[in-house]
Amino acid sequence: MDPPPNPNPNPTDAEPQAEAGARLAALSLRGGRDLPPDFEIHEHHLDDDDDDDEGYLTAASRGGSSTCAWKGLRDDDRDGDDVSPPSPSSSGYAGERGSSLDDDPDPEPAQDWPRDKKHLDEDDASSSWRKRKKHFFILSNSGKPIYSRYGDEHKLAGFSATLQAIISFVENSGDHIKFVRSGKHQIVFLVKGPIYLVCISCTEESYEGLRGQLELMYGQLLLILTKSVNRCFEKNPKFDMAPLLGGTDAVFLSLIHAFSWNPATFLHAYTCLPLAQSTRQAASAVLQDIADSGVLFALLMCEHKVISLVGAQKATLHPDDILLLANFILSSESFRTSESFSPICLPRYNPMAFLYAYVHFFDEHTYVTLLTTRSDAFYDLKDSRTRIQNVLLKSNVLTEVQRSLHESALHVEDLPIDPSSQSASQPQSSRDMSSQSLSSEMAIGGPAGLWHFIYKSVYLDQYVSSEFPSSISNRKQQKRLYKAYQKFYASMHDKATGPHKTQFRRDEDYVLFCWITQDFELYAAFNPLADKSQAIKMCNRVCQWVRDLENEIFVYGGSALSWQYHHCWEGE
Amino acid sequence: MAATAGGNKIRNAKLVLLGDVGAGKSSLVLRFVKGQFIEFQESTIGAAFFSQTLAVNDETVKFEIWDTAGQERYHSLAPMYYRGAAAAIVVYDITNAASFTRAKKWVQELQAQGNPNTIMALAGNKADLVEARQVPAEEAKAYAQENGLFFMETSAKTAINVNDVFYEIAKKLLQGQQVQNPQGGMVLNQRPPERMVSSSSCCA
């Protein structure tokens, strides 16, 4: 356990960014040699291409006939350099509500985004299609296309057959294909019985990261259809599954979009809306009442954040199921129009069976989901919802939720000064340095150059992340940081070389620091010139801060929750 | 609206909309319930529930409307929604012959599986798109007569005949009840047994 060399021993020296980048250091307290190859080479290309992985910029800059149907504006809204945090309401949904007027002769094309984003006119012969940076495909083991992120599935039959041929060629020799690398491209395969999932990407994401995304795509498919769809293939190997997913393009698109902004997609944890303990307790109490009266799970959520959730005895809800359920609900406009009752499957709970979901939006952001096994429970659940609504109104929960949505976020600038660190015996020079960086970095983040952090509580399966500071204000920068976190996560959890306890990495964009204990995982991003010992100190303070706030930022008493970490679907 | 009409009984009636994807079921309901129209109405997931009251002469009908999803994967769930329905509106798109074929299948299914007392309406939606018409009104009308449905061409977009369909159903419901009542105990809204609610349980 050699102490790692400090890559930048004198951080007060202003040095050119390029030089700092060249001095990239990827370190682990367990020894740098153990690191996966991913982290030993600096393959962080920081050009505009990064943002292009959605393919939107390519399309916009081409501006040809295929792109005139959709508005660049809408694209900006969804994935451009939008300062506002990503949410389903930024995916064209607001436009829809605005235009729901009588006899509007020129409706906003915003409503069309799922189809437009898909670029139905494209196929594998189109150069625009081939230039897209990240493709997702779902196909059957007979090679029939089921889903494609871009282009018309029907026109991609030949391409699907090729993918199927590659998979079965390897399988015929008694092996399984995991991925293929070709130049900048990586093709990742995931076989789930008769259903094949493939990602073709040149976004430099790790194999583990992409495979995790395919797992979630499969989970989303199961949420809509359950695993019993496999039986259709047993009866008829040439079964055409695509029609069964009719009308769900928006669900998959929204999930793919989440891969680049929602840390829950790789942390396998959910996040809560910060609320005063008493407010959350009021919500939890009424949900618990409902759960005791025969509801399997009751979830109160605000966008992707959990306000409260309870489950019936012994029923456990996996964070991935929460993610997929919220994605399904938030990406389907249908749920917002009225009360809905729909069969859905929670793949981690029981991939074979449908549950029935009663969904009701109290306001634009806040909604309750009641899950039951009874198909005739609608009127009971409707009554339960009325009871919940009454309590929420009486105890002001909905108002508090609105307030929290706009105010209660964690800002690194608010990280409290730890009094103990002031009195701690440390070299005078270091203290000076600390105060110096405190003053100079305040403008662009928290103390000691702290820009952002994600803290995951291992036992609670919950995470909390800070708001982005002004230095990471646009979507492109935020996406890049999440990708860096994602890579970091994969390397920390690498089964071959890890798991690691800490990792400190500096490149021209940030200093990234990760610290994993048996209780928590902390991922933090600092200004690229941040001092290492200061950074570590800040991380301690973040942990203390999170612990101080834990009653407001986490949901407790979740005996209903699975406290076990499952990495992927077993038994495939 | 009519809920305040002095001392009238409110009759609850479960109503279900069935039909092919994109026929305009949700649009018809949204037009009727909210007076809205959205050009690119998204696919319904599962089924959406609405309620709306309608005054007919001096009586009031409270519709409990199930707007079902037309997607194939939800077909097997349809009985859950049409079982015990007092009325069903089978919707097709006049510009799409396949949707008319699908509508006939729904009618067959209702005749075979549904409640014989269910009032059935056939709605040829998107009547504003005459130039793209694929299903002649006469053909649909003839089919409706043969099968004892009442038929209207509607447009959720221009609101033509939308309220009328629901009004007609309400009228028929009330007429039907007047005839049936003397014979004793035909409950209009047959919900699942464990939640049997008498149609006269809520007086205004």
CATH number of the structural domain spanning residue A490: 3.30.450
Are the C-beta atoms of residues A490 and A475 closer than 8 Å to each other? no
B36–A100 CB contact, under 8 Å: yes
Q: Has residue A570 been placed in a domain?
A: no
A112 close contact with B: CB closer than 8 A:
yes
Residue B12: its H or E element:
strand B10-19
Q: B26 and chain A: CB distance < 8 Å anywhere? A: yes
Out of A229, A258, A287, a domain closes at A258
- CA gap A325, A369 in Å, rounded: 9
Is any Cβ of chain A less than 8 angstroms from the Cβ of B192? yes
Provide the domain count of chain A.
3
User: Is A423 within the bounds of a domain?
Assistant: yes
Q: State residue A286's pLDDT score.
A: 93
Residues of chain B contacting A333 with CB distance shorter than 8 Å: 42
Are residues A53 and A75 located together in one domain of the fold? yes
Q: Cβ distance B49 to B64 under 8 Å?
A: yes
Same domain, A227 and A326: no
The tokens of B22 are what? 């994109």
| A87 to chain B, closest Cα gap in Å | 18
Residue A569 lies in a domain: no
Residues A230 and A282 in one domain: no
A539 in a structural domain: yes
The model's confidence at residue B161, banded by pLDDT at 50, 70 and 90, is: very high
Q: Residue A118: beta bridge partners?
A: none
Contacts of A104 in chain B (CB under 8 A): 37, 39
Q: What b-and-e string marks burial along A125-145, b requiring 16 or more CB atoms within 10 Å of the CB?
A: ebebbeebbbbbbbbbbbbbb
Domain shared by A401 and A414, yes or no = no
Give how far B149 is from chain A: nearest CA, Å: 28
Do A253 and A277 fall into the same domain? no
pLDDT value of residue A494: 82
For the beta sheet containing A179-182, the strands, ordered from the edge strand earlier in sequence to the opposite edge, are A145-148, A134-140, A195-201, A185-192, A179-182
In A89-145, alpha helices (H): 93-98, 113-118, 127-131
Determine, for residues A337 and B48 on separate chains, whether the beta-carbon distance falls below 8 Å.
yes
Parts of chain A with a pLDDT under 70: 1-116, 418-445, 498, 557-572
Inter-chain CB proximity A332 and B43 less than 8 Å = yes
Residue that is last in its domain, among A225, A258, A291: A258
B28 contacts in chain A (CB < 8 Å): none
**Pairs of CB atoms within 8 A across A/B:** 97
Q: 3-class SS at A19?
A: helix
Task: Kindly state whether residue A290 falls inside one of the protein's structural domains.
Answer: yes
pLDDT of residue A445: 67
Angstrom distance (rounded) from CA B159 to CA B126: 10
Distance CA B17, CA B91 (A): 7
pLDDT at A388: 96
Task: Name the residue in chain B with its Cα closest to that of A105.
Answer: B39
What residues of chain B lie within 8 A of the CB of A111, using their CB?
38-40, 42
Do residue A274 and residue A386 come from a single domain? Answer: yes
**β pairing state of B87-93 and B119-125:** parallel
CATH classification at residue A238: 3.30.450.70
A367 and A441 part of one domain? no
Q: Which of chain A's residues have a Cβ under 8 Å away from the Cβ of B73?
A: 224-225, 244-246
Chain B nearest-CA distance from A206, in A, is: 34
Q: State what percent of residues in chain B have pLDDT above 90.
A: 74
Residues of B in contact with A344 (CB under 8 A): 46
Residue A235 lies in a domain: yes
Residue of chain B with shortest Cα separation from A225: B73
- Out of B36, B46, B192, whose CB is closest to A340? B46
pLDDT of residue B15: 97
Does residue A162 sit in the same domain as residue A242?
yes
Residue from A106, A378, A382, A383 to probe the interface with B (highest B Cβ count within 10 Å): A378
Question: At A291, which CATH number?
Answer: 3.30.450.30
pLDDT at res. A509:
85
The answer to whether the complex's ipTM is over 0.85 is no
User: With contacts defined as CB-CB under 8 Å, which chain B residues touch A378?
Assistant: 49
Q: Are residues A105 and A242 in the same domain?
A: yes
A189, β-bridge pairs: A198
Residue A440 covered by a domain: yes
Range of the domain at A341: 270-406
Q: Do A101 and B36 touch (CB under 8 A)?
A: yes
Q: Is B51 on the interface with A (CB under 8 A)?
A: no
Tell me the chain A residues in contact with residue B162 when contact means C-beta distances shorter than 8 Å.
none
A67 touches B: beta carbon within 8 Å? no
- pLDDT confidence tier of residue B193, bands split at 50, 70 and 90: very low
Chain A from 309 to 328: CB within 8 A of any B CB: 328
Q: Residue A126: its pLDDT value, please?
A: 84
Identify the residue with better confidence: A313 or B27.
B27
- Render pLDDT for A265-312 as a digit per residue (tens, 0 to 9): 999 999 999 999 999 999 999 999 998 888 999 999 999 999 999 988
pLDDT the model gives residue A272 = 95
* pLDDT in the model for residue B175: 87
Decide if A48 touches B, using CB distance below 8 A. no
Residue A368 confidence (pLDDT):
97
Structure tokens at A375: 């198909």
Chain A residues in contact with B49 (beta carbon < 8 A): 338-341, 378, 382
Residue B53 CA to residue B56 CA, distance in Å, equals 10
Q: Output the six-digit token pair for B1.
A: 């609206």
| Structure-token pair, residue A397 | 């929960």
Which pLDDT score is estimated for A557? Answer: 65
- For chain A, say whether B196 makes contact (Cβ under 8 Å): no
* B122 Cβ neighbours under 8 A, 6+ residues apart: B89, B90, B92, B103, B107, B140, B143, B144, B149, B150, B151, B152
DSSP A385-437: HHHHHHHHHHTTHHHHHHHHHHH----GGGPPP-HHHHHS---HHHHHHHHHH
Distance from CA of B199 to the nearest CA of A (A): 15
Q: Please name the member of A246, A328, A339 whose beta carbon is closest to the beta carbon of B71.
A: A246
Q: How much is the pLDDT for A552?
A: 93
Rounded CA gap, A247 and B29, in Å? 19
> What's the predicted TM-score (pTM) here?
0.79
Which runs of E-coded beta strand occur in A296-382? Answer: 297-302, 305-311, 339-344, 355-361, 366-372
* Residue A572 domain-assigned (yes or no): no
CB contact under 8 A, B192 and A376: yes
B196 to chain A: nearest residue by CA?
A379
The answer, for A85 touching chain B at a CB cutoff of 8 Å, is no
Chain B environment of A338 (Cβ under 8 Å)? 48-50, 67
Q: Does B130 touch chain A (CB under 8 A)?
A: no
Residues A125 and A235 occupy one common structural domain: yes
CB B5 within 8 A of CB B198: no
- What is the pLDDT at residue A569? 36
Q: Both A400 and A414 in a single domain? A: no
Domain end residue (candidates: A227, A258, A289): A258
Distance from CA of B49 to the nearest CA of A (A): 5
Same domain, A68 and A209: yes
